Every structure is written in C-alpha cells, then in structure tokens.
Amino acid sequence: MNITFHGQSCFEIDHEGTKLIIDPFLKDNPLAKAKPEEIETDYILLTHGHGDHVGDTVEIAKRNHATVIANFELANWIGFQGVEKVHPMHIGGAHSFDFGRVKLTQAFHGSGFIDEEKKEIIYLGMPAGLLLTLGGKTIYHAGDTGLFSDMKLIGAQNDVDLALLPIGDNFTMGPEDALLAAEWVGARKVVPMHYNTFPLIEQDADAFVRQLKEKNMDGQVVQPGESFDL
C-alpha cells in the first residue's frame, strides 16, 4: 500500500484501489501541498472533533460520496452537515469494512467544535486513536494524545507495522513521551506527526528519529506531500 503524509495528522492511504484519508486538514493547513478539491477518497477516518483534524471532511465527503468513520457523536454531527454516509463507532469497538478492519483505541485529549461567533463549544465525543488492519498490515494512528500506559497493551495485543505518533508537545505528547510510546507500541516503523504546523508545536523530527534509531527502532521523517510504501 502507498501512504502519503499531508502535514499535521493527515495521512492518505491507497490500498488495492481503495482510498482512505485520516483527519483531512488541508485548506487551512500551512504545510499541506494538496487541496481539498484534489482529494479522491472512498473513506474518511476521524480521530476527534477539533478543527485541525475534521478539517475539510464535509467538503471532501460530499464530493466523493465517501463514508465518514468516527466516534458516535462526531459521526452524527458530520451527518447533520449533510454528509450522507457515516459509520459511527466508539472506543474499543471494531468493524470490518471492504478494505479491512478498523478499531478505535482510547486517546487522552479533547474533542469539540468551537463556534467563534456564538462563543460556544459543541462536544463531539471522546477522542480516539485508530488501529487499521488492511493488506496484512496493521497501522496505529495514535490521534492527538498524551502518553498513557495502555499503549503497552496496544503493543501486546497487536503486531503493529507502522505507528503514527504525535510529537508536537503542548497539545499532545512531546518527543520524549513519544519515544517511550514507540517503545511500548513496538511498531516496526514509526513516523512522527502533529508538529511544525504552528509555532506552538515546532519540533525537530530528525532528532526524534535519531533517538529512535539509538534505541534500535526504525523511524522515518516524511515531509508533507511525500509518499512511502508499507
């Protein structure tokens, strides 16, 4: 399968003719090379309800007649925006789709839509990580999260080929905690995400990958717009 990084936490996966995109934050993402109108996808997977993750979901889903997979509250809210196909899930639950299996893991963060005009926050359910199993590979997208000890359980229960871990700090794990998370998950490859999009989350991803390799773990820095095969 081919995986493309679009900056922040957005990854596009192309596997045997089925296309998925995770957290499609593109239009307002200063690092993204792709535009929402250029995305062709069958499924959109969301980790939580913050604007830098929901991003351009509604526009992309409507144009592609794509199915949006998200926690129950967020999936229903997306449906309220006129998206015809949504698949609600929740923490610990798994479901098999035509492309493979999706399981939602816990993540320690927040989730909500901020209405600046009304000065209101709409709660959009618990944040989540994603365990994707497709093509004989398992991908763990941690979502926005701090370090938590059950990452050891995720590693013990799953043979993870690729872990996508936030390193930005301030809102999520920083590099030190992400290094420990990588040890606990035990993935064959780690790709850092959720960094350098804004000044508050600027990090040296190359230094993080060097630290991974010092601990005999494989890491790779993927620049926005770049692709790699898994």
Q: Structurally, how many domains does the chain consist of? A: 1
Rounded CA gap, 205 and 193, in Å? 9
Instruction: Please give the mean pLDDT across all residues of the chain.
Output: 97
Confidence bin at 215 (pLDDT 50/70/90): very high
Count the Cβ atoms, other than its own, within 10 Å of residue 70: 31
* Helices 175-185 and 205-214: angle between axes, nearest 10 degrees: 40
Which amino acid, 86?
Answer: V
Domain that holds residue 180: 2-229
| CB of 2 closer than 8 Å to CB of 25 | no
Rounded CA gap, 167 and 216, in Å? 19
Rounded CA gap, 102 and 31, in Å? 27
User: What is the per-residue pLDDT for 55?
Assistant: 97
| CB of 55 closer than 8 Å to CB of 78 | no
The average pLDDT across 60-73 equals 98
CA–CA distance from 192 to each of 12, 137, 202, 224 (Å)?
A: 15, 18, 12, 12
The average pLDDT across 176-195 equals 98
| CB of 131 closer than 8 Å to CB of 105 | yes
Q: What is the pTM of this model?
A: 0.97
Residues 83-102: tens digit of each pLDDT? 999 999 999 999 999 999 99
Expressed in angstroms, the distance from the first to the final Cα of the chain is: 6
Residues 107-159: tens digit of each pLDDT? 999 999 999 999 999 999 999 999 999 999 999 999 999 999 999 999 999 99
CATH number at residue 8: 3.60.15.10
- DSSP designation for 66: P
Rounded CA gap, 230 and 226, in Å? 13
**Residue 93, CB half-sphere, CA atoms under 13 Å: how many?**
11
